[in-house]
Amino acid sequence: MTKKFVPLMLSLSFILVGCSKGLGGSGGCPTVKEFQKKLDNLQPGIQIEKIEKSPIPGLCKVVIKISEFNKALFYTDAKGNYIISGNIIDIAQKKDIMREEMEKLNKKVLDKNTLSEVEKLVDLTYGNSPNVVYFITDPDCPVCKRAEPVLENLAKEGKITVKTILLPLESLHPEAKNKSISLICDKKGFQDLIQGYKGANLCASGKEKIEKNIDFMFNKIGVTGTPAFIFPDGEVVIGWVGPEFILNKFNLR
C-alpha cells in the first residue's frame, strides 16, 4: 500500500457524501474484487484484505493491508460508493468504534516459540520477580525515558522484573545505536541505561547483537517503534503504558 493514501484516510475526521441514500443499502457488502477496482481507479496500490458487515447499520468494514504486520480500516456503504473514515463514536456506549477496531486489528500476540526467541535477545535485566515485562527501548527515545522510572519503581517494589532489549532507531536518534552497542560491550545494567550511559567501546559482538535485535523486531514480529512491551501471555503493546496497565496484566493492585 502506498504511504500517501493511508495517512490521508486516517486523518479525516469523517467523510460521508450523500449519506441519506448511501447508508440505506440492502445490508449487503461489495465484494473485494469489485471494490478493489474502484480503489485502483482512485489510487493504485491499496490492498484490500477483506470486506465484512459492520455492527453499524448500513456500513461495511474494509480491512486493508499496510505491511506484513500492520493493517488499517475504513468503512463503505453497501454499494461501495463512499469511503467513511475517522472517529466513529457510539453515543450510547461512549466509545470510539474506529479506535477499538484498529486496536483489535493490530493486536499482536506472540506464540511460545517466538517468546522464547524474545528471551534470547534480552540485553539488560533488573528485578527478581517472576512477573516478567520485556521492555523494548531506544536509549534516546523520549517516551521510553518516561517509562524507565515507572519500570524501575515497580521492579524495586518486587512486582516485576524488567528484561530490556535495545532497539535503537538510528534514523530518529543518531547516537542511539552507539549508545546501545556500548551498553552491551561494557556490560552495563538497567540503571546505566536510565542514566544515559554512553561509552566508546563499540565491540564487534555488541554491533552484531544490536543488528540481531533490529532484524528480529522489525522483520520477525513487526515492532518498528519504541517503547514496546511484551508480556508473558505473548501480548505486544507498542507505545506508552502506565503502571496500572502493567499491574493489571499480573493481577496486582
In tens, the pLDDT along 14-64 reads 333 333 333 333 358 999 999 999 999 988 888 999 999 988 889 999 998
Contact 140, 179 (CB under 8 A): yes
In tens, the pLDDT along 138-148 reads 999 999 999 99
For residue 253, the model assigns a pLDDT of 73
Q: What residues have CB less than 8 Å from 244, skipping those under 6 apart?
A: none
Residue 8 has pLDDT above 60, yes or no: no
For residue 85, the model assigns a pLDDT of 87
Q: Which of 81-90, 121-130, 142-151 has the lowest mean pLDDT?
A: 81-90
Residue 158 Cα to chain centre, angstroms: 28
Prediction pTM value: 0.72
